[in-house]
Amino acid sequence: MRKKKPYIFLISIVVALSSFSTPAVTATLPEAKPDKGMVVFYRISKMRGAAIRFEITDSAKGSIGSLSNGSVIHKNLEPGQYTFTVRTPSMSGQDSITLNVETGKTYYIKGEIIWGWPVGRPKFSQMADSAGQADLEAIK
């Protein structure tokens, strides 16, 4: 009977942690403001690399935010050229993507982990509107 206590304790912790909800992400994003463009960064929830966070920066404005597994960040930006860089604190490597943001347009940037030796690295890909919207539906 004594040996069951550690297992009961572990099961209790798992149940308690699973009761914490993560904020729901809606696939419906606000429209880009008429005088700005909107950039949507997202990561589809996957078990592989789930604990890795992407730190996104903009060459002009600094930190954009931290993109975790299954999350979305959207930013309205002035028209112009932007270079976004992604770094992961726990892995070596980085990736960048440059966009020419236009007024009234929405850009979808998918964050992924590309696995390699000895560790993986972050990767940004610009997605077509239809593919980005379909991916966002999978996140919600």
The CATH number of residue 51's host domain is 2.60.40.10
Q: Determine the Cα–Cα distance for residues 31 and 127; give it in Å rounded to an integer.
A: 17
Q: Given this model, what pLDDT does residue 4 score? A: 58
The domain in which residue 15 lies consists of: 4-139
Q: Given this model, what pLDDT does residue 5 score? A: 58
pLDDT over 60 (residue 131): yes
Cβ-contact 101, 121 below 8 angstroms:
no
The label of the residue with tokens 């999978």 reads: 138
Q: Given this model, what pLDDT does residue 99 score? A: 95
Mean pLDDT score of the chain, rounded to an integer?
79
Q: Given this model, what pLDDT does residue 7 score? A: 52
Q: How many domains does the chain have?
A: 1
User: Once rounded to an integer, what is the mean pLDDT over residues 50-75?
Assistant: 88
